[in-house]
């Protein structure tokens, strides 16, 4: 676990799932394992994080007898901040941070979502330029840099998807329900 428990990659999906609907800790754990199989979801880690998120004031007990957890306003704010940060800053070359944050894009206002996607577009465009330059100046046969060509193709695809998605948000095509 990271030094600061709030830096754990499970914090964002925990908050996100609780925003979707209040849940009992066991139901939350089960849903994390079902939806985030690419993250390391361990029982002890989840319960430790729930204690930390409660102490931070980001989640609290719902008014029921089952021990259901619900996000607080500061927890919703923290989720939105993490979504914006990870969508802007996650490594363009891959990893789960971007996809995990993308799952909660709808927590943002449509204008915020398109702005953060525009920032992501700029990051990917810069990465594409750098990669194209590296390929061009390497002097190596394509087969010796096949992974760079693969990454370049994937980044171009990601760029196209981001631009189309931002346009669809602006056009009101995604059924925003915030």
pLDDT value of residue 99: 94
Q: Which stretches of the chain are DSSP H helices?
A: 11-20, 25-35, 43-56, 73-89, 96-102, 110-138, 146-170
Phi, psi of 36 (to 5 degrees): -125, 55
**pLDDT digits 0-9 by tens, 58-115:** 999 887 777 899 999 999 999 999 999 999 999 998 889 999 999 999 999 999 999 9
pLDDT, tens digit, 9 for 90 and up, residues 31-69? 999 999 899 999 999 999 999 999 999 999 887 777 899
Confidence (pTM): 0.89
Q: What angle do CA 75, 80, 81 make, to 5 degrees?
A: 95
What gap in Å lies between CA 169 and CA 111, rounded to an integer?
8
| Contact call for residues 86 and 97 (beta carbons, < 8 A) | yes
> Cβ–Cβ contacts within 10 Å for residue 58, how many?
23
**Distance from C-alpha of 87 to C-alpha of 101, rounded to nearest angstrom:** 6
């Amino acid at each position: 676990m990271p030094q600061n428990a709030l830096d754990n990659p499970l914090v964002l999906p925990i908050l996100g799932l609780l925003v979707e609907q209040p849940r009992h800790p066991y139901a939350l754990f089960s849903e994390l394992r079902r939806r985030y199989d690419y993250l390391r979801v361990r029982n002890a880690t989840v319960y430790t994080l729930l204690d930390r998120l409660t102490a931070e004031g980001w989640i609290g007990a719902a008014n029921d007898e089952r021990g259901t957890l619900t996000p607080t306003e500061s927890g919703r704010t923290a989720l939105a901040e993490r979504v914006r940060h990870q969508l802007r800053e996650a490594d363009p070359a891959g990893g789960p941070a971007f996809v995990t944050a993308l799952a909660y894009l709808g927590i943002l206002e449509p204008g915020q979502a398109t702005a953060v996607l525009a920032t992501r577009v700029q990051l990917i465009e810069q990465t594409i330029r750098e990669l194209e330059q590296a390929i061009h100046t390497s002097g190596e046969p394509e087969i010796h840099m096949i992974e760079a060509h693969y990454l370049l193709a994937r980044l171009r695809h990601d760029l196209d998807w981001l631009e189309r998605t931002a346009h669809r948000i602006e056009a009101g095509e995604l059924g925003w329900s915030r």
